[in-house]
Amino acid sequence: MNFSLYNSELFSFLFSSPTSFHAVANIESHLILRGFMRLRENERWQLAKGQSYYLTRDNGAIIAFILGSDETCEQGFRLLAAHTDSPCLQIKPHAEIKTGSFLQLGVEVYGGSLLTPWFDRDLSLAGRVCCRMSDGSLQALLVNFRRPLLTIPNVAIHFDREANKNGEINRQKHLPPILSQAIDQQLPDFNTLLFEQIHKEHLEVAVEEILSFDMFCYDFQEPAYLGARNEFISSARLDNLLSCHAGMTALGKAERKKNVLFFCANHEENGSTSASGAQGSFLDSVLQRIITDPVSLSIALNNSFLVSIDNAHATHPNHTEKSDSAHEIHLNKGPVIKRNANQRYATNSLSAAIYKDVCREAEVVPQEFVMRSDLPCGSTIGPITSARLGVRTVDIGAASLAMHSIREHTGALDPYLLYRTIEQFLKSEAHRQLLS
């Protein structure tokens, strides 16, 4: 596989995964095609060595694993973790707002969104709708309108001459996107639009009533190369679907010889506290069911190693003062190892050394990031997972600009360079060193 083929698969994954639910469904389809078998949490499992499995929780998180034919469980797992969610705008339950001739939708801000870029974009809608079916049963259905549907118009500069100076955004008042307008006819209602979309996407089902939904706005612009030599990639949700895609691709290609587990958590962008988030019980519960003896599990975790993958900040050319000058991060220069003295990242010298050894095996040179000492540092699911499981962990990710914007940027080479180190990690023995 070369980087342009890799990127074309990444582009289609990014665009077809507007929500964490769609990301999980796409990862699931990818793994089913590669022989992974579905498990359910409410059933007993019969696991066999040399086989691969997956299970999902709440549609937004997925765990997939291989029980290697050449390893015992006590030899531990090569663990990968990433998150499926991205900052965005979520539709409120009673969504409709009528203002003059316009129909708007009430929204809440999901996660730490950079809000300015959401204005004047062609937005679509996607998510999960819970319905009562004609036979009386309840079903959750994924929907994706796949067309520009909404916009949040900026106020003209003539009404706010200070807009470029202040530009404060009131989340309640300024964000509701416009969905429709009617002068002489009736406005459409949101429920009917959802009904029509469900009928388009799920021909086989008969919906009686929509009971509730988790619907999100997303930018309809497709991922693209940009730059004089196509040296950049621009897309929504690079944080963190770029990392989910790297883990998914590496796992799909991995031989069934070594123990591997891949965890994609939901709700990282709002603190990870949910049943499908990294603070939840999903990963612990699955590991306890794979290795039922507590002593064996403890030995296995001590022999395991977690690569927590989430995007890193590249040095911004217009804001170089925001970066530590001894730790400049460049696009197209390889994956980034993230360090923080206060454990906002789980990396330490031992785990950095092991990942560097994996990079050497993959013939990729990593970069090293620390935040400026006078700025607060972001975090990932790395420290949470490392603390819960007691597993050695490195926090890494692809360099990017404009993190949490509606459109983020990375180097054209970065996703593939990251992937190569993940692919190598899944067959490496590097983590058997430096055990304490």
Interface residues with Zn ion (CB under 5 A)? 239-240, 310
* Closest to Zn ion by CB, 52 or 347: 347
* Closest to Zn ion by CB, 240 or 385: 240
* Closest to Zn ion by CB, 239 or 357: 239
Shortest reach from residue 243's CB to Zn ion, in Å:
8
* Closest to Zn ion by CB, 240 or 347: 240
* Closest to Zn ion by CB, 149 or 396: 396
Shortest reach from residue 381's CB to Zn ion, in Å:
8
Is the C-alpha dihedral spanning 275, 278, 280, 283 positive or negative? positive
Residue whose entry in the numeric block shows the structure tokens 């300015």: 116
Shortest reach from residue 405's CB to Zn ion, in Å:
13
Kindly provide the residue ranges of all beta strands, DSSP E only, lying in 67-166, ordered along the sequence. 78-83, 88-99, 102-110, 123-133, 138-144
Residue whose entry in the numeric block shows the structure tokens 């663990």: 79
> Which helix (H) or strand (E) segment is 191 a member of?
helix 190-201
Strand 312-313 relative to strand 399-401, pairing: parallel
Alpha carbon 210 to its chain centroid, in Å, reads 27
Contact partners, residue 299, CB within 8 Å, separation at least 6: 74, 76
Contact yes or no for 307/394 (Cβ under 8 A): yes
Provide the angle, in degrees to the nearest 10, between the axes of the packed helices 238-253 and 3-15: 120
* Closest to Zn ion by CB, 214 or 239: 239
Shortest reach from residue 390's CB to Zn ion, in Å:
23
* Closest to Zn ion by CB, 271 or 390: 271
Shortest reach from residue 7's CB to Zn ion, in Å:
20
Say how many CA atoms lie within 13 Å of 402 toward its Cβ: 17
Shortest reach from residue 66's CB to Zn ion, in Å:
25
Kindly provide the residue ranges of all beta strands, DSSP E only, lying in 273-365, ordered along the sequence. 305-309, 312-313, 336-338
Shortest reach from residue 218's CB to Zn ion, in Å:
16
